[in-house]
Each structure stands twice: as C-alpha cells, then as structure tokens.
Amino acid sequence: MTEHDHPPYILGLDLGATSLGWAMIEIESWNTTRPVRVLDVGVRIFEAGVEGDIEQGKDSSRAVERRNARQPRRQHWRRQQRKRNLFRLLQELHLLPQTSEAVTDDEKRDDDPIAPANRHAVLLMVDQQLRKEFTAKDPNLEQDHHFQQVLPYLLRKEALERPLSPAELGRLLYQLGQRRGYLSNRKGQDSDDEKTGLVLSGISSLQDDLGEQTLGAYFATEVDVPQEKIRKRYTGRFMFQQEFERIRDYQAPHHPELTPEDWERIHKTIFYQRPLKSQKDLIGRCDLEPDRRRISEALPIFQEFRILQTVNNLRIQFPDYTARELFTEEKQKLIDILQTSAEMTYAQVRKLFGFTKKGMKFTIEEWDKRIIGHRTNQKMIDVFGDQWLDFPVEKQNQIVLEIVAYNKPFALKRRGIHAWGLNEEQADRLKETHLEEGHGSHSKEALEQLVPLMRDGMTYPKARKKAYPESFETGDVHDLLAPVNDWKDDIRNPAVIRALTELRKVVNGIIRRHGKPQRIHIELARDLKNSRDRRKKIHQNNEDNRKRREKAKQKILSETGISRPSRNDIDKCLLAEECQWTCPYTGKTISPSNLFGPHPEFDIEHIYPRQYLDNSMSNKTLCHVSVNRDIKRNQLPAQAFSGKKHEEMIDRVKRFVGPLAHIKLHRFQQTEVPEGFTTRDLNDTRYNSKLSAEFLGTLYGGKFDAEGRTRIFSCTGGLTYLLRKAWQLDSILGDDEKNRDDHRQHAVDAVIVALTGPTRVKALQEAAADAAKMEQQAFLKSIQNPWNKFHAEVDQAVTGLKVSHRMTRTIAGPLHAESIYSREFTDANGKTSYRIRKGLDKLSVKEITSDQIVDPKIRQLVQDKYAELGGGPPAKIFSLEENHPVMTTRNGKEIPIHKVRLQANVQPRPIGKGVRQRNVASGKDSNYASMIYVILDKNGQ
C-alpha cells in the first residue's frame, strides 16, 4: 500500500511501561493537518519488562530471582565437581584408599565410587585409622575433645614438621580442596562495597594473627575448640596457596613417587578457577561510527569528554534569576581542577569562583549535586604519582586497558612491578585500584574527533554537527518497523525493550491495514522516559506535594467551614502560604475570609499569561481581582508594572517560601517569555523519548523526511491534562477525573496526543489570549473542539473498543517449594511420616506449642524458652541468637539450638533418582495445570 492509497491520518501513541494507547485521526488532506474524524482507537496492555514499582524507581530485572537461584546451584555443582575430581586424583596417586576398601557392594548407596556418600565413607575410614595411630602414640588423646575436632588441621601443621604417610598427606590435601578460601576478583567488585569490605577486613585481621604460621597450624594450635569456632572466619585463597606450597616443598623429598607434574595436577585441581566469561560481544556499537565498539569509560579521552560536556553546558544563575555561561577563563580553571579530581560538588564550584551570594546556583543542580571529574587520573596519580600526567597518551591507554582487563589482584601487582616499574607499596595500591568498567555512547575514534572541538568551548551538539554532519541526514525508509534487536542490539533496559516491541507490533499492524500515517505523535509515560534516579526523585516530590495538599485541605476544613474543598481551593491555600498571605502585586493582606467564599477578593493568577499554556503551580500565584482583571491582564508582571511599583512587587516576591519560590521570582523579573517556551511540549529530549522517536523515524528515514517535513513529534504531555479538561473527555469513562483503573484511558490520551501539534498550540494560545480575563473554567470552555461531534465520536470509539492484552506463551515459576523433606519414617504402628528442618524464627506458634518438634528434649527446651520470653511472634522473638535455647551435654558443653526437626504436615513426593532423590512438596502457589505446546507448520498443520 503506497502512501496516498489510503485516507491520510495522524497516529497518536501514548506509550507506558505496561500499556500502549493508540488513536488514528483522519486529516483533511496529505498537505494539511486539519483533523476531521476519529478513524480508530485501541489499547494494548502488556506486562512490564521488569519487576517492582517502576514509578517509584524500585524496578529490577525479571531475571534477578531466577539468576539468584541459579547461581548457588552452579556454585554447588562446581564445588562438588571439584571435590570429585580431587578425590579421584588422590585415589589415582594412591594418597587415598579405593572406595571398595571402605564400602562393600551391599553398603553402596550409589554405583558411582566417588559419589558423596561413598567419599564420606572413605574419609571416615581414613580418619578412624589416623585417630588410632595418634592415640596409640598418646593414649590421652582418646578423651581429648580438641584433638577430635582438629585432626585435619593437626595434619596440616605436622606436614611442615615430619614426613607424612600417603594417607595423612591425602587427607590434608582433600581438606585444602574442601575449603580453599575467598578469591578476590577485581571484576564487578568494589572494595568500598559493605560486604566486600567486611570480607577483606576479616581476611586482613586473620593474616595479622597468623604471623609466620600457616593457616592449618594456626587453627590446630591457637584456636581453643570448642570454646572458639574454626569455621565462619574469613580466609583468603592466598593463605591456602602459600600453605600448599610450603607443604609441597617439605613433603616432596619424602614422596619421590609423586612427580612435579603430579604436584602441579593437585595444585590445579584444588585452586583452578575459571576466568569470567568475556562480555566484549555485548558492548554496543558507536552511534557515529557503527563499525566501532563503544569506548571504555576508564580511558582518559572519555573522562575528558565527560568533563567538557558538563562544563560547556554549565550556566550560573544569579539571585535576580539572570543566568550566563561560564567565561572561557572560568571553564579552563574548572577543567584543570577536574582533570585530577574524582568529583566536585556544585557548592565547591561556587566557592571556587566566588559565587557565594544567597540564591546563586547552577541551573542543573536540581537533579545532580556534583560534577564528575577525571576519576582515572585521580586514581592513577595515587599509584604512579604526578609522573602519570607526563606519560604519553598511548601508554596511559595501554595501562588503563590492562588494569580494567585484569581479574587477579596479585597478577596485576606483578605486572605493575615488572612492566611499569612500581615499587612494592605502589603495586599494593595498584592491585586495589578499580577503574570504571562501563562504556560510553561513542567509540574512541569518534571522541578523538569531538573532544578537540569541545576543548575550544563548543557544546556537544554543535561539535557533533560539525564533526559528523551526516548523522543529521535522512536515513533509509522502511515499510515496517524492524524487530527491536535487529534495529539496535545494544539496548539493555528490559522495560524499554518490551515497550518498543509492543509498539512495533501495534504500529506494524496499523500500517498493514491502513497504510503509513502522515505523521506520528508519541508521548512516553514518566515511568518509561525517566531514569531510575529521576523517577525516585519525582516520586518523592509527588509524595511531598501530596502531604502539603492534605495539610492545606485540613486547614481549609478547620478555618473556613467549606465541607468539601475543591482542587482550586487547595491551590489557593498553598499559594497563600507561599506568598505568606500577602498579595505580591498589591501588598494587601490575604485571609481565609477574603480568599474563599462566593465573592473572593483574590484570583489565582498566571505569571506567564495563559496564552503560554503553563498551568502548573510554578506559574501560579495570587492577585487581587481588580489588578488581575484591569491591570495585569494578558501581560508579564514586568510589562504591567514598572518603576517603584515593580521594585516593591519584587521585594514581596523575594519573601516567598517553598520549593517553587526561586522559579517564580525569575518569572516576575522576566521582561519577555523565553523563545520556544510554547512549543516545549512538542520536543521531549530525554533519552528513551528520543529512542522511541528514532525507532519510529525508520519509517520515514528519520524524524524529518527527505523533504524536511517533520514526521515524528515527541510530546512531553504538558498539554494533555489541559485538553482533556477542555474537551471534557474524562466524562467518557464515567467520571469527572481521569480513571487510572480503566485501561481505555490510554486511548483517550492517545486521541489527545494525536491532536497535539504546532497548530493546536497556536489555537490554544489564541483562545487563552481571548480569555485573559476569564476564570480557569471559562477559559477551558473557550477552547473549541477540533470538529463538530468530536466528543460523540471519541465517546463512541472509546466505549466500543476492546482492550488487547499481550498473550503469555510460557508458564514461569517454581515446580515445587524449595524446602527439602526427610526420607520416609515408619513408627511402631506402621504409620509413615516425613520431617523437615526449620529455623526457630521460621516456626509458627502452633509448631512450638504442639508436639511437632521431633526430639522431646529439644521440644521442651524450645517451649520453655518461648514461655520465658513471654510468647508472641516467633519471628520477632527468635530473630536474635541470644534468645535461642541452649542444650548442655554430659561433659558440660553448651550447644545453642538454632534449628529443629518437625513432623511434616504435608505429603511430599520424591523427585530425582538414587542418591539425588529428594522429597519435595507443592508451594503456596500450587501448580494446577500443565501447558501443552503444539508446533504448527506454515500450513497450520
């Protein structure tokens, strides 16, 4: 279908993280945008590509839960595989007995000779033999509890004092493989992270305690078992490696049957750890040079690019709300400091330039409190000293890329000493150095073109236009939208990917049936177009506003007698508090009696006149009715008043209080409205909005087609509320206010988005200018409908639409609950039962007070402790370990009880086979159905 084979129309899209409203508005001809009727509307509902509350900025990947469950499974499997490999090797080298010597065929629980149960039997036999040998030499060890607990550690100690038998050597080597310590991995790890810092601190503390001893010798002699625990200490991999090397050096001469290659095989089996998988293929491609990958953020040229981009955009705002760019000398002074600093706060920047007067601030401080500096230089100077700045750029790049690539801290330390001439102290700092691991938007080659221009003070957009003018040219025209990953394979935000995918389905479906639209208007909901940090701040601001409005409502109820304060009443109260109950234009005192009621003396007034279409609280204040209607009218305050009256008015505005006070002072001082203010809602420049517009632009070769006509408008939504009220579209869904529970509201918004364009803005301005003396409601009534019977057509289209829901083709979720139940038990009466272990804080009151705890002695201890603590929720009472009961053994040892075995009140079922068989039960969301897949060929067969 060619462009002119169908009626011309504008497509309006209202895209959110879980919804897409669309509306087709037919226009008079291909050469005009005058709307004539509603062609069709619809709504598509889908699940967000993320979990959590997107609007509050608390979203996370849907894969997190699955990944968090899969990682421990893999770690467990790898740990077991390492033990299997080590056990098999030690048997092969005759350092451990064969399984057949410890387990008969009848006793085997698994045919695999190195299965966990069989390995345990072999080690148990070895331990028993070794204990006999030790007690034969010293009978007192028979009753020595400490000896019984530390036998493997004692072998590790004596491995440096005497020749060991093969069995002794095999036993201690197997234990080294069981617990080989924490390996610090530089990738994805920050030493400032709380958990990592705790581990590294624990390792450092233990290392200080060791002195010249090996770890095994320390645990064998310095730890008082059972008063102290050997386990639950943070140990480093290097401790075990050093101990292995010392044991090998001492024992190798006494075991000539073990060749150097054998020792190396043992070392590799115990300590080998697979390097992290390379993620180079996931690095996105450069927007400006598609054949190149994006640059590492750690490279110096990216660090400089980021500094220049920020500094060249900085504007200082003065107390009178005038603003200017930084002078060239100021920019250079700030850049020089940032080149060796990790960051600077805006307060520090203001102090640097002497911008210390109250009210002076930078225009972008609202969303960010700091300027990021050259983090790479700052960290490298700490390692290399000031000579780092004298290194050639090529050498700096090489060092930075190697630091980013290295996984092992000690390998990086050796590299620093041998290749870069660092001393021991510098190399220690180097191995703890972490550079930024992300990637920029452009390639290194692109930045080499942009940065020289930006050094001369050019902003990024101007530098890009000069260096890469072709990036602003029209691209290829496509009949349909391509799959998102084919169009751009480096989008990492799952919410955006899901939304764009559903957008593609809907738009392509519309084009197949109706042809391409003459133009597309798209508005993104704030949950999709804003970053997570900004969504958090917006949510917090909205919450603060809600509390302020509720407080104002209560004030009106208590002081005016108005039983149901309207939105307008609450606005008046908030504005009165902001101006401290004094009219900013006249200085007259405002009170509840002359602000509310049937004949109020003060109006809500728009600082920028209504024709500029800003109906937000940042553009409203109070004004005496006579001044508002006879003097101020359709002018700026600075145009309506001059001389002494204007100065007195500004003095009163300076006393405004609240978060919007500084914005209003600026507007009171303006002599003209900023250029482009009225069309601000037609150009959303945020990243996700630009991304969606760029995606839709592939239908026309870009946002602008080859003839220069604008084909894609990214609307911000600033006019949507105004037009919905003016055209009374909320009533279509049966309410005077927008009903967010009715999915059809997205179709209503899409109709408004489709009708929002430059022509509509101009018409609204004219209506606002004609209605300058009117109240808000009268102004809204003056806004004409786009065509006759508009409301009825929208009502008919929206009322009759059927919401489309994305079909879920897979069943996702656990097959069973995570808890593992015991094997089957049969009592004297032949009754079968199962048992399960639970932590005390996971028990219910019934489980504590009944006979469900299996062991009667432990049951009594738990019940007595529960009663002693006064009862209540077990989760709260037993959350602290000091509240757990203690069992005293015959020899006086106290054993705290943290978990208990319970009689299960469910009937689990077995899964798996052999030693891997386990008993599980259904979870809370029990499975009630299975999905059967039918795969059809192209003929539907």
- 176-186 pLDDT, tens digit per residue, is 998 888 887 66
Q: Which of 228, 244, 271 is the last residue of a domain?
A: 271
Distance (Å, rounded) from C-alpha 569 to C-alpha 286? Answer: 53
Claim to verify: residue 90 and residue 234 sit in the same structural domain = yes
Claim to verify: residue 18 and residue 85 sit in the same structural domain = no
Q: Which of 621, 643, 669 is the last residue of a domain?
A: 669
Q: What is the average per-residue pLDDT within 30-43?
A: 90
Claim to verify: residue 923 and residue 888 sit in the same structural domain = no
- Which range, of 143-157, 398-412, 877-891, 924-938, averages the lowest pLDDT? 924-938
User: Identity (one letter) of the amino acid at 315?
Assistant: R
Confidence at residue 295, expressed as pLDDT on a 0 to 100 scale: 93
Confidence at residue 422, expressed as pLDDT on a 0 to 100 scale: 92
The answer to the question of residue 277 being in a domain is: no
- Alpha-helical regions (H) of 677-717: 687-697
Confidence at residue 639, expressed as pLDDT on a 0 to 100 scale: 83
Q: What is the average per-residue pLDDT within 605-631?
A: 82
Q: Which domain holds residue 864?
A: 844-899
Distance (Å, rounded) from C-alpha 631 to C-alpha 651? Answer: 19
Confidence at residue 425, expressed as pLDDT on a 0 to 100 scale: 93
The answer to the question of residue 2 being in a domain is: no
Confidence at residue 82, expressed as pLDDT on a 0 to 100 scale: 92
Largest CA distance in the chain: 113
Q: What is the average per-residue pLDDT within 505-524?
A: 92
The answer to the question of residue 494 being in a domain is: yes
Check: CB of residue 306 under 8 Å from CB of residue 451: no
Other C-beta atoms closer than 10 Å to the C-beta of 518 total 22
Confidence at residue 476, expressed as pLDDT on a 0 to 100 scale: 81
Distance (Å, rounded) from C-alpha 459 to C-alpha 308? Answer: 8
* Residue bearing the bigger pLDDT, 929 or 100: 100
The answer to the question of residue 677 being in a domain is: no
* Residue bearing the bigger pLDDT, 763 or 307: 307
Distance (Å, rounded) from C-alpha 163 to C-alpha 142? Answer: 23
The answer to the question of residue 743 being in a domain is: yes
**What DSSP assignment string belongs to 30-44?**
TT---EEEEEEEEEE
Asked if residue 693 has pLDDT above 50, the reply is yes
Helix (H, G, I), strand (E, B) or coil at 638: helix
Confidence at residue 617, expressed as pLDDT on a 0 to 100 scale: 85
Claim to verify: residue 39 and residue 78 sit in the same structural domain = no
* Both tokens assigned to 294: 């994006």
Claim to verify: residue 826 and residue 932 sit in the same structural domain = yes
* Both tokens assigned to 406: 């290295």
Dump strand ranges (E) for 369-496.
Answer: 370-372
Confidence at residue 189, expressed as pLDDT on a 0 to 100 scale: 55
Among 10, 6, 2, 5, which residue's Cα sits nearest to residue 709? 10
Confidence at residue 347, expressed as pLDDT on a 0 to 100 scale: 84
- Residues 326-349 have pLDDT tens digits of 899 999 999 999 999 999 988 888
Claim to verify: residue 216 and residue 301 sit in the same structural domain = no
Mean pLDDT of all residues in the chain?
83
Claim to verify: residue 703 and residue 577 sit in the same structural domain = no
* Both tokens assigned to 500: 């764009």
Please identify which residue in the block is written with the tokens 């508090």. Answer: 577
* Both tokens assigned to 282: 């996931």
The answer to the question of residue 371 being in a domain is: yes
Confidence at residue 867, expressed as pLDDT on a 0 to 100 scale: 92
Claim to verify: residue 224 and residue 316 sit in the same structural domain = no
Residue 384: which pLDDT band, with cuts at 50, 70 and 90?
Answer: very high
Give how many domains the chain has, as a whole number: 6
Contacts of 182 (CB under 8 A, 6+ apart): 199, 203, 234, 235, 236, 237
- Residues 723-745 have pLDDT tens digits of 887 788 878 877 655 556 688 88
- Which range, of 19-33, 46-60, 311-325, averages the lowest pLDDT? 46-60
The answer to the question of residue 237 being in a domain is: yes
Distance (Å, rounded) from C-alpha 399 to C-alpha 397? Answer: 6
Residue 356: which pLDDT band, with cuts at 50, 70 and 90?
Answer: confident
Q: What is the average per-residue pLDDT within 555-564?
A: 82
Backbone CA torsion sign across 720, 745, 715, 32: negative
The DSSP bridge pattern shows strands 519-524 and 9-15 to be parallel
Q: Can you give the CATH number for the domain in which 713 is found?
A: 3.30.420.10
The answer to the question of residue 514 being in a domain is: yes
Check: CB of residue 528 under 8 Å from CB of residue 18: no
Distance (Å, rounded) from C-alpha 169 to C-alpha 552? Answer: 79
Residue 679: which pLDDT band, with cuts at 50, 70 and 90?
Answer: very low
Claim to verify: residue 419 and residue 311 sit in the same structural domain = yes
Claim to verify: residue 132 and residue 213 sit in the same structural domain = yes
Claim to verify: residue 557 and residue 602 sit in the same structural domain = yes
Confidence at residue 685, expressed as pLDDT on a 0 to 100 scale: 47
Claim to verify: residue 776 and residue 886 sit in the same structural domain = no
Percent of the chain, pLDDT > 70?
Answer: 85
